[in-house]
Chains A and B, each alone.
Chain A
Amino acid sequence: MTHRSRSAFTPIRLLGLAIGAVFAGPAVFVVWRTLRLGATLPETLSEIPAPLWRTVQLAVLVSATTAVIGTGLAWLTMRTNLPLRRAWRVLLVLPLVLPSFVGAAAFIAGLSPGGIIHDALGLVGVSPPRRFRGLGASWLVLSAFTYPYVLLPVMARLVSLRTSLEESGRLLGFTATQVFVRITLPQLKPAILGGSLLVFLYTVSEFGAVQLLGYDTLTRVIYSTRLTNRALSFAAATVLLILALGIVALERSHRGVVAPDDRAATKPAPPVRLGWRVIPALAVCTFVAAIGLIVPLLSLGTWARRGLADGRVSLSEMADPALSTATVAVTAAVLAVLVVLPIAVASIRRPHRLSQMSSVSVVAGFAIPGLVIALSLATLTLNTPVFNRFYQTMALLIVAYIIHFGSQALAGTETAVRGVPAGLRESSKLLEPRRGRRALRIDMPLMRPGMAAAGGLVMLSTLKELPITLLLSPIGFSTLATDIWASYEEGFYAATGLASLVLVAMSAVLTWLLVLRPSEAVSS
């Protein structure tokens, strides 16, 4: 079968290439538009360095902070006798359910007169800071909500790490601390680097939180100049794109050539006894959970409760945006999985350079900031005769989500395709000659869990997405995210609080299903 000579351009590969091209489209368009600026390009670029420097500063600070917090908390909750460590494992992952712009809004609302942080500080006699904005505020907020991106992979690695490595280190004459530095940390390095990379990307692409906190990064430039100075907007988008793709390439090249050691631990490591250090350890965990989860939720809850009490907001008002949020999220999830399925099938079942290309194009999408995709698609449809009927349509919004989150769908779908190994497909061919029945009876049931997980991740990300929704939503269409944004800009904190809580509740359910349940299964 494999010896039969045939064209490299099989239908499935061609389909894959076409899909890959669509995924690469927005980025290519942004770069092309920027290069067309010609003579005005140098002048435009002269305005970039300041916001670029601020973006890099913030991203480096946040990724370094989350690398330390994430690794430290992973070790505390997985490897020590920290009291209630099972509960901490769940609690410390939960800040993931708060979109960072919601977190930023919660802090600002909490610090404003009448907010709980403001009042609490007043009670202990500390005067609340007059302004909560700029680098420091952005750093605190983004670190508090993104460290789980490091925590989760490091926790998983610590569970699977063979204890015999560390024990060998001890027997070769090193103390526990030396062994952690020389053996354990190098083993955790890929997980820490991978997690920090996600945080870095998240931070450079972050729009909502930095906009609220008044910190002028590249995304803020793109957003504020998109109508008035389109050249600058596109130039900033191109620089942001290069920054994002550059950091991914850097991490890939530093990941190392050593083959990953996939052999799982045969027995759990005995917990390290903390002794007196249990007090500072508990203090750190409490502080992180307070900043990332409890204070923001209390702040939002207080405003929502007040609004509900005096009748300015009601839960029934939330029904519509909640329903439309769920609808776009489910639609985007289902379509994203279906769109990447041909690429997954082509690249797993018959690896070939052509299918590799399309899969790279989809994966690279995760590095392209949502705001860049939104800007590109908005301009493209608005100014192109054939496409302009799509401007501000639901279809375009969904397409943007799929391009943005396609890489998340692809990873899970590839796992699903791998779940039907070649031997199984061959033996099912011998037993059931009808292709359609095979797909129904064999492939689908085996692939369903992986595809559901992939779709779930896309759904979770879509729920929390802001800039694409903001720029591309049809007129009059509002989701929870856009409602939170609009009500905050009007200073209507009660509505911000309530909509945020509904959004958090929805994403909490999904996070539990997709992230916590599987990781519990790993750790128990």
Chain B
Amino acid sequence: MASTPHTAPADPVEPPGDEQAGAIAPPIIGASVAIDAVTVTYDSPGGLGHTVGAVNNATLDVPAGSILALLGPSGCGKTSLLRAIAGLERPTHGTITIGDRCVSSDDTWVHPERRNVGMVFQDGALFPHLTVTDNIAFGLRGSSLKLSRRERSARVGEMLDLVDLAGLGDRYPGTLSGGQQQRVALARSLAPQPSVLLLDEPFSALDAALRIQVRAEVARIVRDVSVTTIFVTHDQDEAFVLGDRVAVLRNGYIEQVGTPDQLYRQPSTRWVAGFVGEANLVRGQVDTSSGDAAMAHTLLGPVPITAPLTVGSEGELDILVRPEQVELQPGDGALVTNVEYYGHDVRYELQLDDGSILAARTKSSKLHERGARVCVRFDGPATEAWPAAGAATAATLLTP
């Protein structure tokens, strides 16, 4: 993966002179990033000398060439952590290592311009007084690459091809669409061959349809050039689609790090369970009678659980049941109160006998009408469970 040639595969026609350009531009060698016990604090805007914790004791490892998403609600500290890696904030504690070089610790501080890190900002941050070409070439002058004028222009042409904007080099940023601006910003940050690429909510300023398109394109490009990529988002879809691994942050703490599938199926806390997707927490009791297989009894019948945790005082559990793990059949037990038809599937809201709400998603082949009574069953592999908490309701619905 680290040796993937640095060209645009989506471009069917080889632009002339591409071989020569390729010769001076070796593929980017992504570097690993290690974050160890990093804490970032801010001066409180209101008071004198007060500080506000933005990131607390964060530890993360990002293997070279992989893509990590920092996911969390606004104010969780994800952007502060990204800015600390870039060198735009100085952590109060902890060390940050890029490749085998320590860039930030109690007694080390490498200025941002010396970190060989590229960053794409939310607003693109294109220099409005420079053309697209000059924007992309900007970092080639400052870096230690020592390129000749010809090599620089070849590299710019190559970057324009990479982001599929050849021919727009003479335009000013103000004349480009939002999606084009973000692609230029990406080209500009990749031009000096950074070993790490940071993206700060790069798609949030784009409208929904464009966001998905630009996101796919960016994913293709960063995988092509195999640069280590860390990006910040508050959108769980985006984190799951782009990230090889996702770190979920909350109130300055890293709650969980894992693959999208691990986060979705084995969230470490109820909060993560609800943040990464819609979740039903169904109340149940541990079945002590059966042998080694951990089983719980619930309104949805028996539910296999991954590990019997320390159980609440009355032996009760909150069991994670994703909406698509709820199976519906004509029968009794729940009332269909709302039907949302999406084509590929249907989302139901069901009212259980004690008044609590359960969400279900099924294929659209078998439809249930609003007002129908249905029987609900669990259908899926072993799932997570936590000691019961809160009011004694049959189910609790968590939404992102």
Contact = CB atoms under 8 A, between A and B. Distances in A.
Contacts of B119: 167-168, 171
Interface stretch (B21-29, B136-144, B275-283, B298-306): B136-144
B172 interface: yes
Interface in B89-122: 111-115, 117-119, 121-122
A256 B130 CA distance: 12
B189 A171 contact: yes
B125 A165 contact: yes
A393 interface: no
B129 A167 contact: no
Contacts of B138: 169, 172
Interface in B182-212: 188-189, 192
Contacts of B173: 261
B118 A171 contact: yes
Contacts of B143: 172-173
A258 B131 CA distance: 10
B144 A173 contact: yes
A266 B123 CA distance: 9
B127 interface: yes
Interface string A171-198: 1111100100001001101000000000
Given A171-B118, A172-B138, A165 B189 contact: no
Q: Which among B86, B112, B115, B144 has the greatest number of chain A C-beta atoms within 10 A?
A: B112
B87 to A, nearest CB: 8
A178 B175 contact: no
Given A167-B112, A186-B129, A258-B172, A178 B123 contact: no
A170 B87 CA distance: 9
Interface string A142-183: 000000000000000000001011011111111100100001
B125 A173 contact: no
B111 A167 contact: no
B372 interface: no
A386 interface: no
Contact of B117 (A165, A171, A175, A259): A171
B121 A173 contact: no
Contacts of B111: 170, 175
Given A173-B139, A258-B174, A164 B121 contact: yes
Given A187-B128, A187-B129, A266-B122, A172 B172 contact: no
Contacts of B166: none
A173 B113 contact: yes
A174 B139 CA distance: 8
A254 interface: no
B88 interface: yes
A263 interface: yes
A183 B134 CA distance: 12
Nearest to A261: B128
A183 B112 contact: no
Contacts of B142: 172-174, 178
A168 B125 contact: yes
B81 to A, nearest CB: 15
Contacts of A263: 123
Interface string A344-363: 00000000000000000000
A261 B123 CA distance: 12
Contacts of B125: 162, 164-165, 167-168
Nearest to A174: B142
Nearest to A190: B129
A499 B113 CA distance: 57
A267 to B, nearest CB: 10
Nearest to A185: B129
Given A178-B142, A261-B128, A170 B172 contact: no
A259 B111 CA distance: 32
Given A164-B123, A263-B123, A258 B128 contact: yes
B113 A174 contact: yes
A5 to B, nearest CB: 35
A240 B129 CA distance: 34
B122 A261 contact: no
A189 B130 CA distance: 14
Nearest to A178: B142
Nearest to A167: B88
A170 B88 contact: yes
Contacts of A173: 113-114, 139, 141-144, 192
B172 A259 contact: yes
Nearest to A271: B43
A162 B123 contact: yes
Nearest to B83: A167
Nearest to A189: B129
A259 B175 contact: yes
Contacts of B141: 173
Among B123, B143, B173, which residue has the most Cβ atoms of chain A within 10 A?
B123
Contacts of A183: 127
A190 to B, nearest CB: 10
A397 to B, nearest CB: 45
Contact of B113 (A175, A186, A258): A175
A183 B128 CA distance: 9
Nearest to A183: B127
A166 to B, nearest CB: 9
Residue of A162, A164, A189, A259 most packed against chain B (CB within 10 A)? A164
A259 B171 CA distance: 11
Contact of A170 (B113, B128, B174): B113
Contacts of A186: 127, 129
Contact of A171 (B86, B122, B127): B86
B190 to A, nearest CB: 11
Contact of B129 (A162, A172, A258): A258
B121 A167 contact: yes
A266 B121 CA distance: 11
B200 to A, nearest CB: 8
Q: Which of B88, B118, B128 has the most CB of A within 10 A?
A: B128
B129 A170 contact: no
Which of A171, A173, A183 has the most chain B CB within a 10 Å cutoff?
Answer: A171
A260 B121 CA distance: 19
A172 B119 CA distance: 9
A169 B139 CA distance: 8
A355 B141 CA distance: 48
Interface in A475-496: none
Contacts of B87: 170-171
A264 to B, nearest CB: 10
Contacts of A178: 142
A474 to B, nearest CB: 52
B219 to A, nearest CB: 21
A202 to B, nearest CB: 27
Most buried by B among A173, A175, A259: A173
Contacts of B128: 187, 258-261
Contacts of A174: 113, 142
B50 to A, nearest CB: 16
Contacts of B117: 171
Nearest to A263: B123
A340 B290 CA distance: 90
Contacts of A168: 119, 121, 125, 127, 188-189
Contacts of A172: 113, 118, 138-139, 142-143, 188-189, 192
A171 B123 contact: no
A256 B127 CA distance: 14
6 contacts: A165-B125, A167-B88, A171-B189, A172-B113, A172-B142, A173-B141
Given A167-B121, A169-B138, 11 more contacts: A164-B125, A168-B119, A168-B188, A171-B86, A172-B143, A172-B188, A173-B141, A173-B143, A183-B127, A259-B172, A260-B128
Q: Which 7 A-B pairs have the closest CB atoms?
A: A173-B142, A172-B139, A259-B174, A164-B125, A261-B128, A164-B121, A170-B112
